[in-house]
């Protein structure tokens, strides 16, 4: 029931933020903050009470589950479940939600109430995605989170927002339809096999089907998730959406929405069709390596700072795709850690870019340059997250990337070695943008006299993100421990299914 | 009793009525007449249903006719209301003039 | 006492944290106290721990301290652990002692700089990372230090970031070393996958138990580790970043790009020597790379005019000697040369820094001249450093270490006359190029006004390093000079294997010794003739067409940069530039364009003509009925 409460808190919180917005802008902001804080408190409570991995392991990794019939005629339940993987992603989402409210404090001045309503509801949808264990319900949440996100981009975005918002919607909605077809196909095959129509995740695990059917159904899921992740060549919506979205939108997109794609791969695309997924692994891993390298190289070529950061997401999430298809516990752990690290560091970078844009009124790097002496705090923090993003040991990204590479190396030396080249690419683009923005002679195109550095509110948020980045970098064990039963269970499901079929 | 209604003739009549209605819709420019043409077509269809229902001894045909009757009534009332509105606004009932609405 | 080891790297790290967090509060004096003091404390503690280690050696010659498990997933459990043995002791002492004096010097050298605090913050972070590198007991933790020093190197090269050129140099350093680091990282993956552990001690035991000598996996591991070492230590073919790294402040060049960080590659090979011994072909490659590097950079140094670039190429070349020593299995000789090199090269850089600052940022030796009388402190320390670098016999430290390497190359079963000849030629080149700079910069006519002179803190540092550059060599004296001293190599035997040397008859040994002595003196004499005595003739010779070409070729570092730019950098930038708008988007945009075109076409049918719609509808109905009827 606590899971339902989590959703209710967000849904009600969103409505309250909308209502408060008509009264005063700050009230709406505080209501949203309160909402996320309550959510975080619930998440933290679940984490602390279930930090002991042993008790969780007895329930197959599931911390809490909830199930009531929804549309019994079609075997659809309202079924939610939470394991370590969901919990970590939910914590990340709520934290980034909090961050985005703070970051849009001075940026968003129009329709503040409606803005926060959309923000909170996007996260409500995402939380649903992370918890749904009924495929139909999952699909419903999957589509539900798009709509408020669409509004966030289309209403509060920058110059080219309509194009970006439509592109975002078409890509994700179109691929979502493929997934719907795949879900229905899977349920139908299951019905033909057993005579019961159900969308229950657990019932559908291990559905017997022919190799061709499995391959096509898996592909439907894979495409939906690969677009969301995004993997090259389905990534082109991302730079546009990121660039045009308001800062909070970019933070949520990068930090949370992309993770739903990765989560889908973890939860559905591989466990539901283990054999088909393993046959598909070489292709998926090739795409992953291409994403890592191609994303990094294209990022280097950008002149718009926000676009550059957007392309780095493609590069980073390539490691997740790699990890999912390497499919051993080490790689899976690494993948989740990459997600967490990427959520924090990229979120921070988007915040930084947003702050820069607010102050200099441009995202073009050719117009910036030499801002270090004028914005020393921003420069220092920018440097910190730039080097975190390039995978410096002791900071969060390295831990995740190392573990996914190590896991991948066991599965395939070639892919792991090729992916390791991504570390070079990351250095190139990170140092490049640092130089073009903060180093070098001060540009003449920007009025530097009136630039204000980070204030206390932004500095506090950044400090929290810096601490989390270092914490994951030097002692990720609490996260690993809570993830372990979930990922081990997932791995066992795959093995068991493959054994029974093979 | 069963064969009192000549099916073939009824259907031919329905077809003729339908064609007349269609022609009325196609050639008339006055929207009121077009509406009347539509009514004729609807009734032709209703006649065909009656005939077929009588032929197969089924009540479904008559049920459908009731539906069509209701539909026609609704259509006429909405249609006439729209026409009145259009006439008030554009001072014409000529559809070719009204095409600037780009419907 | 030993259990306080963790404090040694922590103290500079605390210094860094303090500086960063309190940057608004600290005055310049306070900054210097924190910056220099943290390294000083660390140095004092290191000395105390070292003496403790020497007086009461722990069991097995090593002390291990596990702080916490970094992460644990199944059997993958790298730990944050320290391992203290003879090798790390030497490294730690050099880093803290030389580091401390360079910090002291910087407190004065950087006094006028705007970003005084930022400088010390970076320097402290560097010392902390470097100490982690040499003290780490786990290969992954070592990698943390390894990348950390790379980062600090970048930050400090690009320290004066207002000049974009400095940033480019810093970036180049980071990227080139990162290329090697990827090799290192893949080696880590391979080692863990094959041996199941990243703890250095454990993995070396497993390796020698599981891998036969010369097995492919051992060779692959050694090659990958070597790639990392080559990048960090600026050896051929990844040497191109070091000359550019001179864009940083001079104390940085002294500490990072001469004394400590660039020798990390050598340290890595020495640390994982078991793996290299399992791969003899790779060990030979190390030796050959060493010789190639020392020759290439020796020639390049001859053609430089920038005093710091001369020293940079000389650093590359001296590390080449260390690699040569490693390659022939003379582990102790490599460490010994590292030790002496740290002192005399730091000394050279610091005295060059004094000169540069005195002449108002003048780097060109041809615009110096006659500084012997006007900057005596700088002259004497530069002279001592040069003498040590050129291996002036008997009185300098460089002589003993270089002599040991050259002798080992001859006598080792892995060495041979060819490698020996290369090493001797390199020694000759070293004398020529370094005394070229001495004669041109410090003798002859004065050409520039002398401004600021060194004061107390700089003078202390110069004196201490000068003494070091002279006396450190007495740790290790060859047998033929009356008995011989082998303090260092005996101490290092606890950790590193003794070098396998053929015993030579005393006559051959004397002959070899004579060759080394003569070659060094001959080099100095040649430099004296060419650059002081017979300057006009030498200049006439140098200005011929061929000589000019040769000089340009040498001066550009044998064209490595040119090739890399054409083959790697250029195409990369070209691809990124032409693909700025992402070619893959073309597909989706085409899709969008097609649907927009279809929309345009269908739009034509929406005329608003009601009767036209009706007609089409009726026609459609007719067609449908016709299809049903006719089929």
Mutating which of B82, B97, B99 best tests the C interface, going by the most C Cβ atoms within 10 A? B99
Tell me: the pLDDT tens digits for A287-307?
999 999 999 999 999 999 999
Pairing assessment for the beta strands C79-85 and C476-477 based on DSSP bridges: unpaired
Q: What is the mean pLDDT of chain A?
A: 90
Same-domain pairing of C331 and C413? yes
Using a CB–CB cutoff of 8 Å, tell me whether C617 touches chain B.
Answer: no
Nearest CA in chain B to C603: B102
Tell me: the pLDDT tens digits for A52-70?
655 656 667 788 888 999 9
Mean pLDDT, range A385-397, rounded to an integer: 92
C154 part of a folded domain: no
A370, A363, A355: which is closest to A459 by C-alpha? A355
A218, A321, A226: which is closest to A276 by C-alpha? A218
Same-domain pairing of C302 and C419? yes
C149 part of a folded domain: no
Are A406 and C80 within 8 A, CB to CB? no
Tell me: the pLDDT tens digits for C420-438?
999 999 999 999 999 999 9
Delineate the domains of chain B, giving CATH numbers in brackets: 7-92 (1.10.287.3510)
Q: Of all residues in chain A, what percent carry a pLDDT higher than 70?
A: 98
Are B103 and C607 within 8 A, CB to CB? no
- Whole-number Å distance between alpha carbons of B8 and A183: 51
Contact between chain C and chain B (3 or more Cβ pairs less than 8 Å apart) = yes
Q: Where are the alpha helices (DSSP H) in C472-608?
A: 487-492, 506-528, 535-542, 545-555, 560-564, 570-578, 585-603
For residue B1, pLDDT beyond 70: no
For residue C514, pLDDT beyond 50: yes
Same-domain pairing of C504 and C592? no
Q: Of all residues in chain B, what percent carry a pLDDT higher than 70?
A: 92
DSSP per residue, C54-78: HHSPPGGGEEEEEEEES--BTTB--
**Burial class for B52, CB neighbours closer than 10 Å (0-12, 13-18, 19+):** middle
Same-domain pairing of C361 and C488? yes
Domain boundaries, chain A: 2-501
Same-domain pairing of C535 and C402? yes
Nearest CA in chain A to C573: A301
Out of C521, C542, C563, a domain closes at C542
> Residue A440 is nearest to which of C76, C161, C175, comparing CB atoms?
C161
Same-domain pairing of C471 and C587? no
Nearest CA in chain C to B19: C618
Are C189 and A420 within 8 A, CB to CB? yes
Interface B:C, Cβ pairs < 8 A? 31
| pLDDT for residue C500 | 67
Are B25 and C611 within 8 A, CB to CB? yes
Query: Residues near A75 by Cβ (< 8 Å), separated by ≥ 6?
Result: A187, A196, A197, A198, A199, A200
For residue B101, pLDDT beyond 70: no
Same-domain pairing of C498 and C609? no
Radius of gyration of chain A (CA): 22
Q: Which two tokens stand for residue C312?
A: 């940079």
For residue B103, pLDDT beyond 70: no
Q: What is the pTM of this model?
A: 0.90
Question: How many Cβ atoms sit within 10 Å of the Cβ of residue B7?
Answer: 14
Q: Which two tokens stand for residue C250?
A: 């001079």
Tell me: the pLDDT tens digits for C88-99?
999 999 999 999
Are C608 and B103 within 8 A, CB to CB? yes
For residue A203, pLDDT beyond 50: yes
C213 part of a folded domain: no
C563 part of a folded domain: no
Instruction: Tell me the C-alpha to C-alpha distance, in Å, between residue C614 and each of A275, B24, C611, C619, C621.
Output: 55, 11, 5, 9, 10
For C222-341, where are the E strands, in sequence order? Answer: none
> Residue B25 is nearest to which of C606, C607, C614, comparing CB atoms?
C614
Nearest chain A Cα distance for residue C80, angstroms: 9
For residue A443, pLDDT beyond 90: no
Tell me: the pLDDT tens digits for A226-263?
999 899 889 999 999 999 999 999 999 999 999 999 99
Same-domain pairing of C525 and C596? no
Same-domain pairing of C382 and C317? yes
Same-domain pairing of C512 and C603? no
Contact between C267 and C91 under an 8 Å Cβ cutoff? The reply is yes
Using a CB–CB cutoff of 8 Å, tell me whether C585 touches chain A.
Answer: yes
Q: How many domains does chain C have?
A: 2
Same-domain pairing of C431 and C329? yes
Among A463-477, B88-102, C19-33, the range with the most confident prediction by mean pLDDT is A463-477
DSSP per residue, B33-78: HHHHHHHHHHHHHHHHHHHHHHHHT-THHHHHHHHHHHHHHHHHHH
Mutating which of C609, C610, C625 best tests the B interface, going by the most B Cβ atoms within 10 A? C610
Q: How confident is the model at residue B27 (pLDDT cuts 50, 70, 90)?
A: confident
Using a CB–CB cutoff of 8 Å, tell me whether A291 touches chain C.
Answer: no
For residue C602, the chain B residues in CB contact (below 8 A) are: none
Domain that holds residue C604: 581-630
C485, C381, C462: which is closest to C102 by C-alpha? C462
- Whole-number Å distance between alpha carbons of C27 and C13: 19
- Whole-number Å distance between alpha carbons of C159 and A181: 57
C264 part of a folded domain: no
For residue C618, the chain B residues in CB contact (below 8 A) are: 22, 26
Tell me: the pLDDT tens digits for C531-545?
887 777 777 777 788
For residue C483, pLDDT beyond 90: no
> Residue C618 is nearest to which of B22, B31, B103, comparing CB atoms?
B22
Lowest-pLDDT range, A72-81, C120-129, C359-368?
A: C359-368
Mean pLDDT, range A347-359, rounded to an integer: 92
Contact between chain A and chain B (3 or more Cβ pairs less than 8 Å apart) = no
| pLDDT for residue A360 | 86
For residue A405, the chain C residues in CB contact (below 8 A) are: 185, 189
For residue A480, the chain C residues in CB contact (below 8 A) are: 71-73
Same-domain pairing of C309 and C415? yes
For residue C340, pLDDT beyond 50: yes
Are C68 and A302 within 8 A, CB to CB? no
Q: What is the mean pLDDT of chain C?
A: 89
């Amino acid at each position: 029931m606590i899971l339902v409460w989590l959703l209710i808190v967000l849904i009600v919180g969103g409505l309250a933020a909308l209502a408060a917005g008509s009264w005063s802008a700050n009230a709406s902001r505080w209501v949203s903050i309160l909402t996320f804080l309550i959510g975080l408190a619930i998440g933290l409570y679940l984490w602390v009470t279930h930090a002991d991995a042993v008790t969780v392991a007895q329930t197959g990794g599931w911390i809490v589950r909830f199930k009531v019939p929804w549309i019994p005629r079609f075997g659809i339940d309202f079924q939610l479940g939470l394991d370590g993987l969901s919990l970590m992603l939910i914590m990340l989402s709520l934290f980034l939600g909090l961050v985005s409210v703070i970051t849009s404090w001075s940026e968003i001045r129009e329709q503040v109430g409606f803005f926060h309503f959309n923000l909170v509801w996007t996260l409500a949808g995402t939380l649903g995605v992370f918890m749904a264990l009924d495929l139909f319900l999952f699909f419903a949440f999957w589509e539900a989170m798009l709509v408020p996100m669409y509004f966030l981009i289309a209403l509060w975005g920058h110059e080219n927002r309509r194009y970006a918002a439509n592109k975002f919607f078409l890509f994700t909605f179109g691929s979502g339809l493929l997934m719907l077809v795949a879900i229905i196909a899977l349920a139908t095959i299951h019905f033909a096999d057993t005579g019961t129509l159900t969308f229950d995740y657990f019932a559908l695990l291990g559905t017997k089907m022919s190799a061709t059917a499995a391959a096509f159904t898996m592909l439907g899921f894979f495409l939906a998730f690969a677009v969301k992740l995004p993997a090259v060549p389905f990534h082109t919506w991302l730079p546009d959406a990121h660039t045009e979205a308001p800062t909070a939108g970019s933070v949520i997109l990068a930090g949370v929405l992309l993770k739903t794609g990765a989560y889908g791969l973890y939860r559905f695309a591989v466990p539901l069709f283990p054999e088909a997924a393993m046959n598909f692994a070489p292709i998926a891993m090739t795409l992953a390596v291409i994403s890592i390298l191609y994303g990094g190289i294209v990022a280097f070529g950008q002149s718009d700072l926000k676009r550059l950061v957007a392309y780095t997401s493609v590069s980073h999430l390539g490691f997740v795709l790699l990890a999912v298809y390497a499919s051993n516990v080490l790689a899976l752990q690494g993948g989740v850690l990459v997600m967490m690290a990427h959520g924090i560091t990229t979120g921070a970078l988007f915040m930084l870019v947003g702050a820069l844009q607010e102050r200099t009124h441009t995202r073009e790097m050719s117009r910036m340059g030499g801002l270090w002496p004028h914005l020393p705090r921003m420069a220092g923090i920018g440097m910190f997250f730039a080097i975190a993003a390039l995978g410096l040991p002791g900071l969060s990204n390295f831990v995740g990337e190392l573990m996914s590479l190590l896991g991948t190396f066991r599965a395939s030396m070639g892919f792991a070695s090729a992916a390791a080249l991504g570390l070079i690419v990351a250095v190139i683009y990170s140092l490049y943008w640092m130089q073009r923005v903060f180093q070098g002679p001060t540009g003449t195109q920007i009025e530097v006299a009136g630039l204000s550095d980070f204030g206390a509110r932004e500095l506090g948020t950044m400090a929290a993100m810096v601490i989390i980045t270092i914490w994951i970098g030097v002692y990720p064990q609490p996260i690993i421990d809570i993830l372990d039963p979930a990922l081990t269970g997932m791995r066992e499901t795959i093995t068991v299914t493959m054994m029974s079929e093979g | 009793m069963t064969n009192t209604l000549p099916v073939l003739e009824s259907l031919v009549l329905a077809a003729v009525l339908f064609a007349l209605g269609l022609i009325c819709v196609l050639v008339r420019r006055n929207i009121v007449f077009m509406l009347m043409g539509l009514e004729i077509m609807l009734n032709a269809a209703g006649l065909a249903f009656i005939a077929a229902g009588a032929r197969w001894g089924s009540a479904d045909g008559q049920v459908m006719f009731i539906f069509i009757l209701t539909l026609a009534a609704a259509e006429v009332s909405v249609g006439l209301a729209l026409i009145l509105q259009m006439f008030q606004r554009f001072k014409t009932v000529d559809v070719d003039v009204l095409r600037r609405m780009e419907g | 006492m030993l259990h306080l080891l963790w404090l040694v790297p922590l103290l500079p790290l605390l210094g860094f944290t303090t500086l960063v967090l309190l940057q608004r509060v600290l005055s310049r004096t306070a900054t210097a106290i924190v910056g220099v003091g943290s390294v000083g404390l660390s140095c004092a503690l290191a000395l105390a721990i070292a003496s403790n280690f020497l007086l009461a050696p722990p069991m097995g010659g090593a002390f291990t301290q596990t702080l916490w498990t970094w992460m644990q997933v199944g059997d993958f459990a790298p730990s944050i652990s320290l391992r203290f043995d003879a090798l790390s002791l030497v490294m730690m002492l050099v880093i803290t002692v030389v580091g401390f004096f360079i910090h002291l010097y910087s407190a004065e050298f950087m006094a006028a700089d705007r970003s005084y605090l930022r400088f010390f913050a970076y320097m402290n972070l560097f010392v902390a990372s470097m100490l982690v590198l040499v003290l780490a007991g786990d290969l992954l933790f070592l990698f943390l230090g390894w990348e950390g020093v790379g980062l600090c190197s970048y930050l400090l090269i690009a320290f004066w970031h207002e000049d974009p050129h400095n940033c480019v140099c810093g970036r180049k350093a980071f990227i080139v070393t990162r290329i090697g680091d990827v090799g290192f990282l893949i080696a880590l993956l391979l080692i863990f996958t094959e041996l199941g552990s990243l703890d250095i001690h454990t993995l070396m035991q497993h390796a020698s138990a599981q891998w036969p000598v010369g097995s492919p996996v051992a060779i692959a591991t050694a090659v990958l580790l070597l790639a990392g070492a080559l990048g960090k230590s600026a050896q051929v073919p990844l040497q191109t970043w070091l000359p550019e790294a001179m864009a940083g402040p001079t104390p940085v060049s002294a500490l990072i790009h001469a004394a400590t960080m660039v020798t990390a590659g050598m340290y890595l090979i020495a640390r994982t020597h078991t793996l290299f011994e399992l791969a003899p072909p790779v060990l030979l490659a190390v030796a050959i790379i060493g010789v190639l590097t020392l020759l290439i950079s020796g020639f390049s140094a001859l053609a430089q005019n920038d005093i710091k670039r001369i020293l940079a190429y000389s650093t590359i070349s001296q590390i080449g000697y260390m690699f040569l020593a490693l390659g022939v299995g003379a582990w102790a000789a490599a460490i010994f040369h590292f030790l002496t090199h740290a002192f005399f090269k730091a000394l050279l850089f610091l005295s060059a820094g004094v000169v540069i600052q005195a002449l108002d940022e003048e780097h060109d030796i041809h615009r110096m001249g006659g500084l012997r009388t006007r900057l005596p402190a700088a002259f004497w320390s530069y002279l001592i450093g040069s003498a040590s670098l050129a291996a002036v016999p008997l009185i300098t430290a460089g002589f003993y270490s270089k002599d040991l390497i050259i002798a080992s190359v001859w006598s080792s079963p892995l060495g041979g006359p060819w490698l020996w000849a290369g090493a001797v030629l390199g020694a000759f080149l070293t004398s020529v190029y370094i005394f070229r700079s001495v004669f041109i910069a410090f003798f002859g006519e004065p050409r520039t006004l002398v401004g600021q002179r060194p004061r107390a803190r700089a003078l202390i540092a110069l004196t201490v390093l000068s003494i070091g550059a002279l006396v450190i060599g007495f740790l290790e004296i060859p047998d033929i000079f009356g008995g011989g001293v082998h303090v260092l190599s005996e101490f290092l035997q606890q950790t590193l294997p003794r070098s396998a040397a053929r015993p030579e008859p005393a006559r051959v040994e004397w002959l070899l010794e004579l060759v080394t002595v003569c070659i060094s003196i001959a080099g100095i004499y040649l430099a004296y003739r060419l650059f002081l005595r017979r300057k006009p003739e030498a200049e006439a010779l140098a200005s011929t067409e061929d000589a000019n070409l040769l000089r340009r070729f040498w001066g550009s570092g044998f064209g490595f940069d040119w090739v890399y730019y054409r083959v790697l950098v250029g195409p990369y930038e070209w691809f990124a530039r032409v693909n700025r708008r992402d070619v893959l988007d073309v597909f989706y945009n085409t899709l969008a364009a097609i649907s927009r075109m279809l929309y345009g076409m269908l739009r034509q049918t929406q005329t608003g003509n009601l009767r036209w719609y009706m007609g089409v509808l009726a026609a459609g109905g007719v067609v449908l009925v016709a299809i049903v009827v006719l089929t």
